[in-house]
Amino acid sequence: MKSGGAVLFALLVALAAVSCSSASDQTSSTEPAQTEPAQTETPITSSVAFCNPANAFVTDSAVRFITTPDAEVFTDIDIQLEQIAEQAPAVITNDIAALRTGFAAIGQAYASTGYEPTASFVLPTGVQQANLESSRNLEDYLLRVCELTRVRTEQIEQISEAFGIDDATTAECLHAQMGDIANIDPSDLSPQLMTTEVCGTSILGLLSGAGAASNS
């Protein structure tokens, strides 16, 4: 039996890695429309109604799984994915639906353990594979159409500035593991999250200056 946290990160590795992917840097939001004049307005609509919340979702979600999530986290994620799906272009709707199913399965597995941090569970292989494939497809789309590379770079710069980090490698590591922590929702700052060690430091350490210093 794998630990719940290990299974969770195995399933979400591609999704969480969206924020640190070294994949293609094609970031133009207009190229897809130029190949089909009849759909000229599609990239603009996607940028406003789909790209922004989709980019925010993949860069905000990682931090919510550093500690054991509860029922509220999974409910919120399902609502977010439902709203994103409503604005998604047809080419990516099946992948978002698969991600919704995958997150629901993970939520149910956690619920069956009473959200016990040390509990173990195994998810069906099909669920794991669907999550990984859909995550890769979503990543590819966001990189090509939604300027995810630019969003990721800006967020890493904001982490460096917010926490006074001079070491670019540390800022990149923190973003890869925790996402957009420079703009984290205060409601997600639990005591456990504040003190959990990530990239050789913690949010509390960074805020106090100790963490940043130790990674210089």
pLDDT tens-digit profile of 6-35? 334 434 543 433 333 333 344 444 444 444
Domain ranges in the chain are 1-216
Judge contact between 172 and 15, C-beta under 8 A. no
**pLDDT tens string 136-172:** 999 999 999 999 999 999 999 999 999 899 888 999 9
C-alpha span between 149 and 51 (Å, rounded): 12
Contacts of 191 (CB under 8 A, 6+ apart): none
